[in-house]
Amino acid sequence: MPVVTMKEMLIHAYRQGYAVGSFDVVSLDFVSGIIAAAERSRSPVILSLAESHFDYFDFDLLMPAVEAAAKSATVPVAIQLDHGLSLDSAVRAIKLGCNGVMVDASHHPFNNNVELTRKVTEMAHGCGVPVEGELGYVPGVEGEDAERHPGELVYTTVSEAKEYAQLTGVDFLAVSIGTVHGRMKGNPKLNYTRLQEINEALGIPLVLHGGTGLADEQYSRLIANGISKINYYTALADAAGNRIQQNRQDGGQGYTALVAGAADAIADECERCMHQWGAAGRADELLQHCTPWDAVEHLIIYNAGASDDAVHTMMATGRQTLSQIPGVREVFTGEAIQEGAHYRFSWLVRFCHPAVIDSYREHPDHIAFADSLFRPIAGDRISIDYRAVEGVGTTPGSVTAIRKSA
């Protein structure tokens, strides 16, 4: 269960008046430190993977570990693409297991921001995935991520926020109300009145980027005015960096000696935040409210009225085409091992969410492939969508039918 629907998670936080930490991950030490903190404090948590950090890790390689950690956690976890720059990035992130995406076009003019965000929202909602957009601009000041956010701070305005939310259909809005990415320099000029007005106008969970470096009282006032998700990175990177420096001073030399304890340092800082932001102790009540984030197995078994060569060519085209459709995580094409099996061939297409059953069926690439290549040779077939079944008397991951169609 513990991967849960991010929209339900953040609406719970919004209504109950706390904020979920969205902690950026750049290595396995971050994954294990963040999850350890969430479990220790019984807190919901978001594992966040920022496109602005993709130089630091291989997204394809790290995501299976992120997903495995989230699935085996005992607290509710969501996985988000942070600062996604394009529609393609969002499609890729969903394919790899993100169940929330942020599209960051905040550096573009309003209309361009709306246009890109709307495209991402239409695609992601067809996959059951909620979207965070950003309006106004949160610049970077100092820290390893700061230079990736050049320029001056631009505060979000109420009228633009209202129009933007209506035009894009975003589920959450990242606002710029005085924070910066990276280490805070001096006292931030937080505009609580503006935040309150945006909150009253929109009524959706609001997101704070540049979460590092505020005082306890500042976090509390921000959360009281609608901030339900706080993006946080620099303080974690600094905590890990300080531990590594300490290890060096203590005589550590090799890699494992230098990074020893980095995950613990990250965990301590995350746990402090979870208590400060009111998320600690919320895991169990939230698990009662949240729908598990479960994949759907779209299974087709069929016999083919064509040569084996023609079937294999059709399968290769299908694997290539269908795996690009948003919300498709994996395409398996199979041939029966047993001689004389009632159905000789199979497709197993894994969707990230039940919403993809419809968006996949209606996708022009699926229609073109099915009508021109698949259906003409696979008249004898059974097609069923399965959802996972977990609970007493079943093993996790066993499945049950959603719908059957011939």
Where on the chain is the footprint of ligand 13P (CB under 6 A)?
Answer: 24, 50, 82-83, 145, 181-182, 209-212, 231-234
Which residue lies nearer to ligand 13P by CB, 198 or 304? 198
Nearest approach in angstroms of CB 55 to ligand 13P is 15
> What contacts 139, CB < 8 A, 6 or more positions away?
149, 150, 151, 152, 153, 180, 181
Contact 2, 74 (CB under 8 A): yes
7: left (phi over 0), alpha (psi -120 to 50) or beta: alpha
Which residue lies nearer to ligand 13P by CB, 126 or 210? 210
Nearest approach in angstroms of CB 304 to ligand 13P is 49
82 is catalytic: yes
Q: Give the single-character DSSP code of 138.
A: -
Nearest approach in angstroms of CB 83 to ligand 13P is 6
Which H or E element spans position 311? helix 308-322
182: left (phi over 0), alpha (psi -120 to 50) or beta: left
Which residue lies nearer to ligand 13P by CB, 66 or 349? 66
Q: Annotate 313-335 with b (16+ C-beta within 10 A) or e (fewer).
A: ebbeebbebbeebbbbbebebee
Nearest approach in angstroms of CB 236 to ligand 13P is 8
Which residue lies nearer to ligand 13P by CB, 43 or 321? 43
Which residue lies nearer to ligand 13P by CB, 204 or 208? 208
Which residue lies nearer to ligand 13P by CB, 82 or 297? 82
Nearest approach in angstroms of CB 132 to ligand 13P is 10
Cβ neighbours of 152 (radius 10 Å): 6
DSSP codes of every residue in 155-209: PPPHHHHHHHHHHH--SEEEE-SS--EES--S-----HHHHHHHHHHH-S-EEES
Amino acid at 269: E
Catalytic residue among 82, 171, 238, 385: 82
- Read off the tokens for 166: 């209506």
Residue owning tokens 């598990």: 292
Pairing of strands 296-303, 380-389: antiparallel
Nearest approach in angstroms of CB 183 to ligand 13P is 7
Active site (catalytic) residues: 82
